[in-house]
Amino acid sequence: MEAETQEKASVMQRVKGWLDKIGNTISSVGKEAKRLAKEDPRRVVHAFKVGLAISATSLLYYFDFFFAGFGVNAMWAVMTVVVVFEFSVGATLGKGVNRAIATLLGGALGMAAHDLADLTPEKVEVVLIGLSICVIAGVATFCRFFPKIRARYDYGFLVFILTFSLISVSGYRADVVFDMAHRRLTTILIGGCVAVLICIFVRPVWAGKDLHRYTAANIEKLGCYLESFGSAYFKESHDKNLAPLRDFKTVLISKGTEDSLVNFARWEPRHGKFRYRHPWDQYLKIGSATRECAYKIDALNCYLNSDAQTPLELRTKIQAFCTTISSKCSLALIDVAIGLRTMTCPLSSEKHIMDAKAAAKTLKALLKTELWHDTEFLDIIPVVTVASLLIEIVTCTVKIADSVEVLATKVKFKKPKPEMNRQASREKVKRIPSIEASHSVNIVFE
Amino acid sequence: MEAETQEKASVMQRVKGWLDKIGNTISSVGKEAKRLAKEDPRRVVHAFKVGLAISATSLLYYFDFFFAGFGVNAMWAVMTVVVVFEFSVGATLGKGVNRAIATLLGGALGMAAHDLADLTPEKVEVVLIGLSICVIAGVATFCRFFPKIRARYDYGFLVFILTFSLISVSGYRADVVFDMAHRRLTTILIGGCVAVLICIFVRPVWAGKDLHRYTAANIEKLGCYLESFGSAYFKESHDKNLAPLRDFKTVLISKGTEDSLVNFARWEPRHGKFRYRHPWDQYLKIGSATRECAYKIDALNCYLNSDAQTPLELRTKIQAFCTTISSKCSLALIDVAIGLRTMTCPLSSEKHIMDAKAAAKTLKALLKTELWHDTEFLDIIPVVTVASLLIEIVTCTVKIADSVEVLATKVKFKKPKPEMNRQASREKVKRIPSIEASHSVNIVFE
C-alpha cells in the first residue's frame, strides 16, 4: 500500500517535472518571440503580409471564373507567392523577375525540345528528351558557378532548369504541352505580381534604405568606440566600464550582410531619397574603408585589456593628444555617419579631421623629443603603439570621410538645415533595428 | 554611286564590329568556364550529377507503372530533385530532410484544417480556410526570424507554409485532398531519395571535408605570409615582391563561408575520417582564432608599404629576432595546418612555438636596453610597432595551436608515420580549390 502511494507520488512528481519543463520552454519561446518583435517590429508586419498575400492568391482557386481558366495550375500562383516573398522589396523583386524570365525561357526551350523530339519515333523521342534534359540541366547548373551569375541570377537559373525539365518531361505524356507552359507562366506571373505589389505597397522594407542605415550605423559604432576609448585607456584598469567598447566587433564581420543588401538594393526602383541609378557600389567601398578602420580599432582594443601596460604615470604624458585624436576622430566619424544617415553634407567633420590631423602631427613631434628620458624602453612600447595606431586611425577616418564624400557628390547630398537637431538624428542612428538578423542573410548566430 | 559603296562599306564594318564583339564575348565566357572547371573540377562533376538525377527522375513520368500511380504529381519528384540537389552532401541532406518532414507536417495540418472547415457551411468554410492560411503562414513566417530556426530549418519552414497552403487550398475544389497530400509526400520522398543517393554515391562532395581543408588552408595562408614577411620587411622597398603577401586577405572575411560549411557539415553522416558526432563547432573556434591572428597580420602588413619607415640600418638591429619570430611562427602554423589537414598530431609545432616564444622574450629584453641610443624617437616607432605586433602574433599562434590541439584531443588525431612526406602534404594544402566559390555561399565577388 505504502509502496503504491510512493510510486504514485513519484509518478506525479515526474509528470510535474515534465509539465514544468514544457511550461518553461513555452515561456522562453514566447519571450524570444517578444524580443524579436520588439527588436524589429517590421518582422511582425512581414509575417502578416505573407499571410495576406497567400490568402489573396488562394482566391484564384476559389472563384470559378479563375479556376475554369487555370484548373490545378492555380497552385503555381500560391507557390510563387510563398517562394518569392522576401523581407525586402529588392529581394522580392529580384526573385520575382528571375522567376518570371526563367519560366518564360525554360518553357520556350522545353517546348522546342518537345517539338523536336516529337518528329522522331517514340523510342528515340524518349532518349532524346532524357538526353536533352541531362545536357541542358547540366550546363545550366555549371553556369551557376559563374561568379556574376551566382551573385544576381542564381535563382533564375534554378527556375530555368525546373521549368525546362517539367515542360519537356510532360512531353512524354500530355500533348497539351503548350497549354501547360502557358498556364504555368500566367499563374506564376499572377503570383509574382501579388507578392511584389503587397511587398511594395503594404509597409515596404527597402533593402537600399537598410543598407544606407547599416553603413551609417557601422561608421557610428566606430565613432562611439573612439568616444569612450580615450577616457577608458587613461584610467586605472579596475574602474573601466568596457561594455560600450564591444559594439564595434560586429563591424569586423559586416561584409556578408553588406554584399547581400547591395545585391537586393540593385533590384529596387526609386524610393524615398534613393533615385533609380543610386550608386550602390559606393556603399561597398565605404564599407571596406569602415572595416579597415575597424581592424585598427581591434588592434587598439587589445591594449585596453593587455597585461603589458605602460604605467599610468608614463601614459599621462601624451594623454592630452591621444584623447584629442580619439575624440576628434570620434566626432568626425559620428558627424559623417549622421550626414550619411540624413543625406546632408557633414557639417563639421572637416574641422574635426583637421583638428585630429593637427593633434597627430603634434603627437608625432612630441614622440620625437626625449619624452620619457629615463624610463625603461619596454614600458613605453604599449603606449607608443597605441599612439601610432591612433595616428593611423586618423588616416582611416579620412578615408571613410572621403568615400562618403564621393557618395555625397554622386547623390548630391543637401546642405543641412540650421534648425536640424543633429543630436536627435544621432539617437535615431543608434536605435537601428538589427539589420543582419532581419534580412535573410545566412549567418550562424553563436 | 560612291556614297552607296561607302555606306555599304560602313555597314559591313559595323557588322564586322558586332561579330567581333560577339566572338570576343563567347571566347571570354569559354575561357572563364575553363578557368572555373580547372579551379575545381568537382563543379563539372556536380553539373553532370544534377543532369543525371533529373533525367533519372523523369523516368517516373515515362513508365506507365509509375505514372498510373502518380499521374501529374510525378512532377513533384522532378521538382524536388532540382531544388534539393546542392553542391555538398550536407547541404543536399539538410534540404532533403527539411523538405520531407515539412511536407509531412504541412500536409497533415492542411488536411486537418480542411476536415475542420468541411464541418461548416460552405460560405463559412471559405472564410475559415482563408483565415487559417493567413494565420498559420504568418506565424510560420515569423518563426523563420528565430536565429536557431533560420540557421538550420529555414527551408523546412518555407516548405511547410507551401504544403499547408497547397493542401488546404485544394480543399476548395477537390474532395480527394488526402490522395493529393499522400501523392505529394510520396513523390517528394522519391525525388529526395534520388537526389540524396546520387549526391552521396557519385563522387560525393563532403562539406565537412571541405570545411576541414578550408580551416587548414586558412592557417596555412597565415603561415605563408609570415614565411616571407621577415625577408620582405628587412629589404629595400624597391626589390620587394609583395604578390605572395596578399593571400592572407581572404582569411579576414572567411566567417560567412565557415558558418555555412559548419551548417552543412552538421547534416552529414560519418564519412572518411569524420565520425558521426565530429565536433564541427570546434572549427568555428579555430576559425575565430585564425581570424584574430589575421587581423594582427593585416596591421603588420601596413608596415610593409607604409611611408613612415624606420631607416633600414636601424631596422637591422633587431632583424635577427624579428626574422626568427616570424619564421618560427610560420613553421609552427604550417606544421599545425599540415597536422590538421592530415589529422595527425603536429610534429614540431611545439618546438617552433618554444623557439618563437624564446625569441620574443629576448626581443622584449633587447628593446629594454638602449638599443637605438642616439636616434630620433619617431624613426624607431614603426619598427618597434612591428616588433610588438610580432610578439602578439606569437600569442595568436599559440591560441591557434591550442584550439587545434583541442580538436586533436576530441577526434584523437593519430601519431604521424615517420615515412610521411610532410612537404608533399604541404603542396596538397596549397593546391586547394577555391572553396568559397564552389559552395553556394552568397558572396559578391568584386
Q: Which of A133, A261, A152, A144 is nearest to A208 (CA)?
A: A261
Q: Give buried/exposed letters for A314-327 (b at 16+ CB in 10 A, else e).
A: bbebbeebbbbbbb
pLDDT at B316: 81
- The answer to whether B54 contacts A134, with C-beta atoms less than 8 Å apart, is yes
Backbone angles phi, psi at B45, to 5 degrees: -60, -45
Specify burial of residue B173 (Cβ count, 10 A radius: 0-12, 13-18, 19+): middle
B443–A contact, CB cutoff 8 A: yes
- The answer to whether A47 contacts B138, with C-beta atoms less than 8 Å apart, is yes
Query: What does the pLDDT look like over B305-341, one tens digit per residue?
Result: 776 677 777 788 888 889 999 999 999 999 999 889 8
pTM of the shown model: 0.88
Amino acid at residue number B409: T
- CB-nearest partner of B138 from A48, A148, A382: A48
The count of C-alpha atoms lying within 13 angstroms of the C-alpha of A277, restricted to the half-sphere facing its C-beta, is: 1
Cell, residue B275: 565520425
Q: How far apart are CA B174 and CA B196, in angstroms?
A: 32
Mutate to test the interface with A, among B38, B142, B373 (most CBs of A within 10 A): B142
Q: How far apart are CA B446 and CA B434, in angstroms?
A: 15
- The answer to whether B165 contacts A78, with C-beta atoms less than 8 Å apart, is yes
The count of C-alpha atoms lying within 13 angstroms of the C-alpha of B337, restricted to the half-sphere facing its C-beta, is: 29
pLDDT of B178 strictly over 90? no
> Quick one: pLDDT band at residue B70, thresholds 50, 70, 90?
confident
User: Which residues fall within 8 angstroms of residue A112, CB to CB, at 6 or more apart?
Assistant: none
**B441 contacts on A by Cβ (under 8 Å):** 442
Mutate to test the interface with B, among A263, A378, A389 (most CBs of B within 10 A): A378
Q: How far apart are CA B54 and CA A139, in angstroms?
A: 13
B26–A contact, CB cutoff 8 A: no
Work out how many CB contacts closer than 8 A connect A with B. 245
pLDDT at A73: 78
Q: ∠ CA B251-B253-B256 to the nearest 5 degrees?
A: 115
The count of C-alpha atoms lying within 13 angstroms of the C-alpha of A197, restricted to the half-sphere facing its C-beta, is: 11
- Nearest chain B residue to A163, by CA: B79
Q: Supply the angle between the helices A207-233 and A377-411 in degrees, to the nearest 10.
A: 150
- Nearest chain A residue to B43, by CA: A142
**A445 contacts on B by Cβ (under 8 Å):** 147-148, 151
Whether the Cβ atoms of residue B256 and residue A255 lie closer than 8 Å to each other: yes
B295–A contact, CB cutoff 8 A: yes
- The answer to whether A46 contacts B141, with C-beta atoms less than 8 Å apart, is yes
Name residues 391-420 of chain A within 8 A of B (Cβ).
392
- CB-nearest partner of B142 from A47, A75, A142: A47
Cα distances (angstroms) measured from residue B200 to each of B88, B90, B204, B301, B386? 9, 9, 5, 43, 49
Q: How far apart are CA B219 and CA B207, in angstroms?
A: 18
ipTM score of complex:
0.88
Mutate to test the interface with B, among A76, A132, A165, A267 (most CBs of B within 10 A): A165
pLDDT at A308: 64
Mutate to test the interface with A, among B43, B81, B444, B445 (most CBs of A within 10 A): B444
> Quick one: pLDDT band at residue B444, thresholds 50, 70, 90?
very low
Q: Which of B200, B206, B439, B211 is nearest to B341 (CA)?
A: B211
- The answer to whether B173 contacts A67, with C-beta atoms less than 8 Å apart, is yes
**A80 contacts on B by Cβ (under 8 Å):** none
- CB-nearest partner of A256 from B82, B256, B377: B256
Query: What does the pLDDT look like over B54-64, one tens digit per residue?
Result: 999 888 777 77
- CB-nearest partner of B161 from A59, A82, A446: A82
- CB-nearest partner of A162 from B82, B137, B255: B82
pLDDT of B445 strictly over 70? no
More confident residue, A309 or B283: B283
Q: What is the mean pLDDT of residues B127-142?
A: 91
- The answer to whether A284 contacts B253, with C-beta atoms less than 8 Å apart, is no
> Quick one: pLDDT band at residue B376, thresholds 50, 70, 90?
low
- How far away is chain A from the Cα of B137, in angstroms, using its nearest Cα? 5
Specify burial of residue A199 (Cβ count, 10 A radius: 0-12, 13-18, 19+): buried
pLDDT at A431: 55
Cell, residue B441: 555561399
Name residues 238-267 of chain A within 8 A of B (Cβ).
252-253, 255-256, 259-260, 262-263
- Nearest chain B residue to A48, by CA: B138
Q: How far apart are CA A117 and CA A218, in angstroms?
A: 57
Q: ∠ CA A249-A255-A258 to the nearest 5 degrees?
A: 115
What is chain B's alpha carbon radius of gyration, rounded to the nearest angstrom?
30
Chain centre distance of CA A179:
41
pLDDT at B446: 31
- The answer to whether A382 contacts B376, with C-beta atoms less than 8 Å apart, is no
Q: Which of B200, B335, B198 is nearest to B272 (CA)?
A: B200
- Nearest chain A residue to B369, by CA: A377
pLDDT at A307: 66
Q: What is the mean pLDDT of residues B237-259?
A: 77
**B295 contacts on A by Cβ (under 8 Å):** 252, 295, 298-299
User: Which residues fall within 8 angstroms of residue B76, CB to CB, at 6 or more apart?
Assistant: B183, B184, B187, B188, B191
pLDDT tens digits in sequence order for chain A, 446 residues long? 677 888 888 888 999 999 999 999 999 999 999 999 988 889 999 999 999 999 998 887 777 766 677 777 788 888 899 999 999 999 999 999 999 999 999 999 988 888 888 888 878 888 888 899 999 999 999 999 898 888 889 899 999 999 999 888 876 666 666 777 888 889 999 999 999 999 999 999 999 999 999 999 999 999 989 988 888 888 766 555 666 678 888 888 888 888 889 989 999 998 888 888 899 999 999 999 999 999 889 888 888 877 667 777 778 888 888 999 999 999 999 999 988 988 888 778 889 999 999 999 998 888 777 666 666 666 777 788 888 889 889 999 999 999 999 999 998 888 877 666 666 556 555 556 677 777 765 433 33
pLDDT at B135: 94
Cell, residue A130: 532524357
- The answer to whether A54 contacts B133, with C-beta atoms less than 8 Å apart, is yes
Mutate to test the interface with B, among A95, A134, A372 (most CBs of B within 10 A): A134
- The answer to whether A169 contacts B75, with C-beta atoms less than 8 Å apart, is yes
- How far away is chain B from the Cα of A148, in angstroms, using its nearest Cα? 7
> Quick one: pLDDT band at residue B303, thresholds 50, 70, 90?
confident
Tell me, letter by letter, the H, E, C secondary structure of chain B.
CHHHHHHHHHHHHHHHHHHHHHHHHHHHHHHHHHHHHHHCCHHHHHHHHHHHHHHHHHHHHHCHHHHHHHHHHHHHHHHHHHHHCCCCHHHHHHHHHHHHHHHHHHHHHHHHHHHHHHCCCHHHHHHHHHHHHHHHHHHHHHHCCCHHHHHHHHHHHHHHHHHHHHHHHHCCCCCCHHHHHHHHHHHHHHHHHHHHHHHHHCCCCCHHHHHHHHHHHHHHHHHHHHHHHHHHHCCCHHHCCCHHHCCCHHHHCCHHHHHHHHHHHCCCCCECCECCCCCCHHHHHHHHHHHHHHHHHHHHHHHHHCCCCCCHHHHHHHHHHHHHHHHHHHHHHHHHHHHHHHCECCCCHHHHHHHHHHHHHHHHHHHHCCCCCCCCHHHHHHHHHHHHHHHHHHHHHHHHHHHHHHHHHHHCCECCCCCCCHHHHHHHHHCCCCHHHHCCCCCCCC
Q: Does the CA dihedral A388-A329-A250-A402 come out positive or negative?
A: negative
Name residues 52-111 of chain A within 8 A of B (Cβ).
52, 54-55, 58-59, 61-62, 67, 72, 75, 78-79, 82-83
With residue A306 as reference, give the H or E element that holds it: none
**A158 contacts on B by Cβ (under 8 Å):** 82-83
Q: SS3 of A414, please?
A: strand
With residue A150 as reference, give the H or E element that holds it: helix A147-170
A45–B contact, CB cutoff 8 A: no
Mutate to test the interface with B, among A377, A393, A434 (most CBs of B within 10 A): A377
Q: Report DSSP state, residue A272.
A: T
B138–A contact, CB cutoff 8 A: yes
Q: How far apart are CA B376 and CA B383, in angstroms?
A: 13
pLDDT of B198 strictly over 50? yes
